[in-house]
Amino acid sequence: MSQIKLVSDRCAGCGECIAACPYNAVALENGLPVFSGACNLCGACVEACPSGAIERLAAAGKPAVDKASYRDIWVFAETRDGQPAKVVLQLLAAGRSLADQVGQQLCAVLIGDNPGGLAELLIAHGADRVLLAEHPALAACRDEPYTAVLARAVNQYRPSIILFGATAAGRSLAPRLAARLRTGLTADCTGLEIDPVSGDLLQTRPAFGGNIMAAIVTPNHRPQLATVRPGVFKPLQYDRSRQGEVTRLAVSNGLLAARTEVLGFTAAGGESVSLEDATVIVAGGRGLGSAENFELVKELASLLGGAVGASRAAVDEGWISYAHQVGQTGKTVSPRLFIACGISGAIQHLVGMQGSEVIVAINKNPDAPIFKVATYGLVGDAATILKELIAQLRSGS
Amino acid sequence: MQIVVCIKQVPDTAEVKIDRKTNTLIREGVPSIINPFDLHAVEEALLLRERCGGAVTALSMGPPQVEAALREALSLGVDQAVLLSDRAFAGADTLATSYTLAAGIRKIGAFDLILCGKQAIDGDTAQVGPEIAEWLDVPHLTYVSGIDEMILAEPARITVSRLVEGGYEQVRSSLPSLLTVVRELNEPRLPSFRASLRARTQAITVWGAADLDVDPERLGIDGSPTGVSRVFVPEYDRQGQIFAGGPEDQARALVDLLRSTRLI
């Protein structure tokens, strides 16, 4: 049997549900709302509640969701140092193509202290609309107030899909929001499509440690939430002629409660690893056999002015730090040239580098899966071939 | 202080191979381990107990064989272990899993801190920790790489460093709170002889759905909004060019080609 249910430990006793109820079915008793027989399960209180304390359960235990009433694709426009995070422009490209496919709007949700100046940029990169929530207390991306602002906006506008970057911020915020909304979230997606039959979002991601790929769906709940791996989608060209509107979201004090406080930021010192921006990457794997041989990878990278990458195996061996790892549990890269040395090509690695323009594989096993993605292949001992390459590049011959 | 550590038993995914003929995972003979990130959570719980006193409870959800993982946690030194095990929990996605674990934590009792690994190596979602925090209505901090300060006197609070893009964010949270931790946090200890002996005979508490204050419709596959639509091994076939000859010839061919195409 369907019912409206109070999750009392979350209720702040604010009384917004009483004001929202069209049937006068809600009253406060001991500071908590009580639902009378006049309730017809319309759900107005569920949407009005700023703390997500009221739920509507359907007969089958699943929230009663009218999928058709959820429209539009949202992108969480994470900001960093006053700019959209790189992944946001990638999400707008992915979202644009989904929105065009289903004939709906693409909205960027921009939250911060005073981020309104970025709205134009988001529109120029594909957004039809920017939902803007501004408040000094929203300066840092803190999960509690951001969840409250987003949950409020979701209940008001009912988007069908919300995309987050699979960044530290996105992967912290999205699960909190998914649990608040009692809906599904798919982590670290590398592919997004609309199922032409069901209209559901098909969310492809590496599974089982990246050994296999899975397509995940959220068939009976809305919105459908996904975090999307940075580096997978390419941003659209900046286009000033694109038109869009900016809508302000009301930010009431009730949404700003937070039990965390950001005190500061320390940039990582030492080696700078910008794999995502490199045009050339030389990466090494277990086939190099030793930390000493891995130095050859660094040498070649430095000769080519490129960055150093590694497979999980090489990182696990301790030959290089995790910051260099490419693959499912590392970074996704798409340089012009990727040279894989002694990397066999487990799926978990391939998902992180298959978007590279030209892939050179150096491996002693001619049947290694890395050759399936390679533009050029060199079969032989990786260390020996690396030494050859370095010698020839040095001699200029 | 009272600490709950959530652990997951996972197949050692580094040992999982694909059967290229059937395109399925070969799981036979793959050992089960405690999710490596969770070992860092266990270690931090033990360090905090050594510093502040109190007790550490290891909590897991899964089939009866997960007792092995909890027994390993006991042999590392946690005080007690609780397993949530019931057919009704089967098929849970992260929302249903976090709901069930949150109910288990409520039943364990008052807590100051919940520790989880940043993600499990078989699912790689990193979602269960933050979702538990939401169900329990406590704050959460992810990717914790260092605990800088812990104050149990009121107002109780914890200050941590979080590993984020490009550096470390310093954040403070009131307690109780939930943290998910990364490898940099500590170096997990090995089981001690004394604790291993004790762990062999120590009782592990097992709770089913009937023991928890839960809505049955939120458990297991029924309580899971997400489902797997299909699983596949991606097909790659770039039909690249393999160079001929010894190392020197192949290297020369590559260098020439990269130069002529202005890739280097």
Q: Does residue A321 lie in a domain region?
A: yes
Residue of B nearest to A213 (CA): B232
Residue ranges per structural domain of chain B: 2-218
Assess whether pLDDT exceeds 50 at residue A59.
no
Q: Does residue A266 lie in a domain region?
A: no
- Chain A partners within 8 Å of B134 (Cβ): 147, 175-176, 179-180
Assess whether pLDDT exceeds 80 at residue B255.
yes
Q: Do β-strands B140-151 and B157-164 pair in parallel, antiparallel, or remain unpaired?
A: antiparallel
User: What stretch of H or E contains B70?
Assistant: helix B67-76
Assess whether pLDDT exceeds 50 at residue A310.
yes
How far apart, in whole angstroms, are the C-alpha atoms of residue B32 and residue B13?
9
Paired residues of A186 in beta bridges: A226
List, in order, residues 6 or more apart from B229 with CB less than 8 Å away.
A195, A202, A214, A215, A216, A217
A41 vs A100, higher pLDDT:
A100
Tokens representing B231 are: 């699983």
User: A84 and A220 share a domain?
Assistant: yes
How far apart, in whole angstroms, are the C-alpha atoms of residue B19 and residue A268?
41
User: A307 and A371 share a domain?
Assistant: yes
Assess whether pLDDT exceeds 70 at residue A304.
yes
**pLDDT attached to residue A3:** 65
Q: Does residue A136 lie in a domain region?
A: yes
pLDDT in tens, B95-124: 999 999 999 999 999 999 999 999 999 889
pLDDT in tens, A240-252: 999 999 999 999 9
**pLDDT attached to residue B25:** 67
CA-based diameter of chain A, in Å? 88
Cβ within 8 Å, pair B167-A265: yes
User: A71 and A51 share a domain?
Assistant: no
How far apart, in whole angstroms, are the C-alpha atoms of residue A110 and residue A153?
12
Range of the domain at A115: 67-255
Assess whether pLDDT exceeds 80 at residue A225.
yes
pLDDT in tens, B24-56: 667 677 889 999 999 999 999 999 999 999 999
3-state secondary structure chain A: CCEEEECHHHCCCCCHHHHHCCCCCEEEECCEEEECCCCCCCCHHHHHCCCCCEEEECCCCCCCCCHHHCCCEEEECCEECCEECHHHHHHHHHHHHHHHHHCCCEEEEEEECCHHHHHHHHHHCCCCEEEEEECHHHCCCCHHHHHHHHHHHHHHHCCCEEEEECCHHHHHHHHHHHHHHCCCEEEEECEEEECCCCCCEEEEEEECCCCEEEEEECCCCCCEEEEECCCCCCCCCCCCCCCCEEEECCCCHHHCCCCEEEEEEEECCCCCCCHHHCCEEEEECHHHCCHHHHHHHHHHHHHCCCEEEECHHHHHCCCCCHHHEECCCCECCCCCEEEEECCCCCHHHHHHHCCCCEEEEEECCCCCCHHHHCCEEEECCHHHHHHHHHHHHHHCC
3-state secondary structure B16-63: CEEECCCCEEECCCCCEEECHHHHHHHHHHHHHHHHHCCEEEEEEECC
What is the crossing angle of helices B94-108 and B128-136, to 10°? 50
**pLDDT attached to residue A40:** 60
Q: Any idea what the CATH number is for the domain that residue A191 is in?
A: 3.40.50.620
Q: Which CATH architecture has domain B2-218?
A: 3-Layer(aba) Sandwich (3.40)
List, in order, residues 6 or more apart from A173 with CB less than 8 Å away.
A76, A141, A143, A146, A147, A150, A164
- How many residue pairs bridge chain A and chain B with CB atoms within 8 Å of each other? 263
* A-interface mutation test, from B17, B26, B106, B127, most A Cβ less than 10 A away: B127
Average pLDDT over residues A209-237: 92
The domain tally of chain A equals 3
Three-state DSSP at B184 gives helix
**pLDDT attached to residue A270:** 53
User: A28 and A98 share a domain?
Assistant: no
B248 in reach of chain A (CB within 8 A): yes
Q: Do β-strands B17-19 and B24-26 pair in parallel, antiparallel, or remain unpaired?
A: antiparallel
Average pLDDT over residues A276-282: 91
Under DSSP, the state recorded for B116 is E
Average pLDDT over residues B234-252: 89
pLDDT in tens, A336-373: 999 999 999 988 899 899 989 999 999 999 999 999 99
Q: Does residue A312 lie in a domain region?
A: yes
A348 vs B17, higher pLDDT:
A348
Question: How many CB atoms are located within 10 Å of the residue A297 CB?
Answer: 29
Cis peptide before A223 (omega within 30 of 0): yes
Confidence band, pLDDT 50/70/90 cuts, at residue A328: confident
**pLDDT attached to residue A1:** 35
**pLDDT attached to residue A61:** 45
Q: Does residue A265 lie in a domain region?
A: no
**pLDDT attached to residue A57:** 67
User: What stretch of H or E contains B87?
Assistant: none
User: A301 and A352 share a domain?
Assistant: yes
Cβ within 8 Å, pair A312-B121: no
User: A172 and A305 share a domain?
Assistant: no
Residue of A nearest to B165 (CA): A168
The CA angle B193-B197-B203, to the nearest 5 degrees, is: 140
% of residues, chain A, pLDDT over 70: 93
Average pLDDT along chain A: 91
**pLDDT attached to residue A397:** 54
Assess whether pLDDT exceeds 60 at residue A117.
yes
Confidence band, pLDDT 50/70/90 cuts, at residue B191: very high
A67 in reach of chain B (CB within 8 A): no
| Window from A46-60, B95-109, B174-188 with minimum mean pLDDT | A46-60
Assess whether pLDDT exceeds 90 at residue A49.
no
Average pLDDT along chain B: 93
A286 vs B30, higher pLDDT:
A286
- How far does A2 lie from chain B, in Å, by closest CA? 12
**pLDDT attached to residue B101:** 98
Assess whether pLDDT exceeds 50 at residue A108.
yes
**pLDDT attached to residue B236:** 82
pLDDT in tens, B55-69: 999 999 999 999 999
Average pLDDT over residues B119-135: 95
Q: Does residue A269 lie in a domain region?
A: no
pLDDT in tens, B66-89: 999 999 999 999 999 999 999 999
User: A19 and A120 share a domain?
Assistant: no
A293 in reach of chain B (CB within 8 A): no
User: A204 and A326 share a domain?
Assistant: no
Assess whether pLDDT exceeds 70 at residue A42.
no
**pLDDT attached to residue B212:** 98
Assess whether pLDDT exceeds 90 at residue A39.
no
Average pLDDT over residues A82-102: 97
- How far does A395 lie from chain B, in Å, by closest CA? 12
- Chain A partners within 8 Å of B121 (Cβ): 209, 329
How far apart, in whole angstroms, are the C-alpha atoms of residue A148 and residue B98?
19
Q: Does residue A274 lie in a domain region?
A: no
Q: Any idea what the CATH number is for the domain that residue A340 is in?
A: 3.40.50.1220
User: A218 and A319 share a domain?
Assistant: no
User: A125 and A235 share a domain?
Assistant: yes
Q: Where are the beta strands (DSSP E) in chain B?
A: 2-6, 9-11, 17-19, 24-26, 32-34, 55-61, 80-84, 113-117, 140-151, 157-164, 167-174, 177-181, 205-207, 227-232, 241-242
- How far does B200 lie from chain A, in Å, by closest CA? 31
- From the list B229, B238, B242, the residue facing A216 with the nearest CB is B229
User: A247 and A227 share a domain?
Assistant: yes
* A-interface mutation test, from B134, B148, B162, B255, most A Cβ less than 10 A away: B134
Cis peptide before B155 (omega within 30 of 0): yes
User: A198 and A81 share a domain?
Assistant: yes
Q: Any idea what the CATH number is for the domain that residue A20 is in?
A: 3.30.70.20
